[in-house]
Structure 1
Amino acid sequence: EVEEMLSQASSQMFESKRLQCGWQLPMRGLVELDSTLSVHLEEEGVVLSLELREIAQQRKADREVHQADLTHANKELLRNLAHEIKNPLGGVRGAAQLLDRELPSDELREYTQVIIKEADRLQGLVDQMLAPHRRLRVMESVNIHEVCERVRSLMLAEFPSGLVIKRDYDISIPDLRGDREQLIQVVLNVVRNAAEALTGEGEIVLCSRIARQVTISKKRCRLALDLHVIDNGPGIPEELRERVFYPLVSGRPQGHGLGLTLAQSYVHQHGGLIDVESRPGRTDFLIRIPIESGGVTS
Structure 2
Amino acid sequence: LEQQARQEREERLIDQAQANKELIRNLAHEIKNPLGGIRGAAQLLQMELESRELIEYTQVIIHEADRLQSLVDRLLAPHRRPHVVGDVNIHEVCERVRSLILAEFPKGLRVVRDYDASIPEFRGDREQLIQAVLNIAHNAAQALAERIAAGDAQIVFKTRVGRQVTFGKQRYRLALELHVIDNGPGVPDSIKDRIFFPLVSGRDGGSGLGLTLAQTFVQQHHGLIECESVPGYTDFKLLIPLP
- Alignment TM-score > 0.5, same fold: yes
Cα distance, 1:153–1:96 mapped onto 2, change above 3 Å? farther
Counterparts of 1:148 and 1:290, CA distance in 2: 17
* Structure showing greater relative contact order (alpha-carbon pairs closer than 8 Å, 6 or more residues apart): 2
CA deviation digits over 1:8-33, x for unaligned, max 9? xxxxxxxxxxxxxxxxxxxxxxxxxx
Aligned to 2:10: 64
1:13-61 deviation line (CA, Å, top 9, x unaligned): xxxxxxxxxxxxxxxxxxxxxxxxxxxxxxxxxxxxxxxxxx2111111
Aligned-partner SS, 1:60: helix
1:197 paired with 2:146, answer no
Distance (Å, rounded) in 2 between the aligned partners of 1:119 and 1:238: 34
- How many residues of Structure 1 are paired with residues of Structure 2 in the alignment? 238
Distance of 1:198 and 1:133 partners within structure 2: 31
User: Where does the alignment leave 5 or more consecutive residues of structure 2 unmatched?
Assistant: none
> Do residues 214 (structure 1) and 165 (structure 2) align?
yes
The code of the aligned residue for 1:271 comes to H
Structure ranking higher in helix proportion: 2
What's 1:264 paired with?
215
The CA deviation at 1:228 is 0.6
What CA deviation, in whole Å up to 9, does each residue of 1:252-290 have, x standing for no partner? 220111111111111111111101011111111000101
> Mean Cα displacement is larger for which, 151-160 or 193-202?
151-160
Q: Percent identity?
A: 66
2:133 corresponds to: 187
Structure 2 letter corresponding to 1:151: V
How high is the TM-score relative to the length of structure 1? Answer: 0.74
Shift of 1:158: 2.9
Gaps of 5+ in 1: 1-54, 293-298
Mapped partners of 1:154, 1:174: distance in 2: 24
TM-score w.r.t. the length of structure 2 is 0.90
| C-alpha distance in 1 between matches for 2:217 and 2:29 | 20
Taking the aligned partners of 2:49 and 2:209, their CA distance within structure 1 comes to: 36
> Where do residues 133-152 of structure 1 align in structure 2 (5 Å cutoff)?
133-152=79-98
Q: Describe the superposition over 1:192-215 as per-residue Cα deviations: whole angstroms up to 9, x where unpaired.
A: 111222222132111111111101
Q: Using the TM superposition, give the Cα deviation of residue 117 of structure 1 relative to its aligned residue in structure 2, in angstroms.
A: 3.3
How far apart are 1:105 and its partner, in Å? 6.3
What residue number does 1:280 align with? 231
Which structure has the greater CA radius of gyration?
Answer: 1
- Matches of 1:83 and 1:204, distance apart in 2: 37
Q: What is the one-letter code of the residue matched to 1:155?
A: I
Alignment of 1:34-49 (within 5 A): none
Q: Which piece of structure 1 moves more, 232-241 or 116-125? A: 116-125
| 1:82 corresponding residue in structure 2 | 28
Give the drift of 1:93: 2.2
Separation in 2, partners of 1:284, 1:290: 19
Matched residue of 2:4: which SS?
helix
Give SS of 1:289's match: strand
> Of residues 226, 245, 259 in structure 1, which corresponds to 2:177?
226
1:182, distance to aligned residue in structure 2 (A): 1.1
Change (3 A) 1:146 1:110: farther
SS at match of 2:191: helix
Deviates more, 1:106-115 or 1:281-290: 106-115
RMSD (Å), alpha carbons? 1.9
Show CA shifts across 1:204-256 (max 9, x none).
11111111110121211111111111111111111211111011111122011
* Corresponding residue number in structure 2 for 1:46: none
Q: Higher strand share goes to which structure? A: 1
Q: In structure 1, what residue type is equivalent to 2:104?
A: E
Partner residue of 1:238 out of 189, 201, 206: 189
Distance in 2 (CA, whole Å) between partners of 1:100 and 1:233 is: 48
User: Which one-letter code corresponds to 1:71 in the other structure?
Assistant: A
Tell me the SS of whatever aligns to 2:137.
Answer: helix
Change (3 A) 1:217 1:113: same
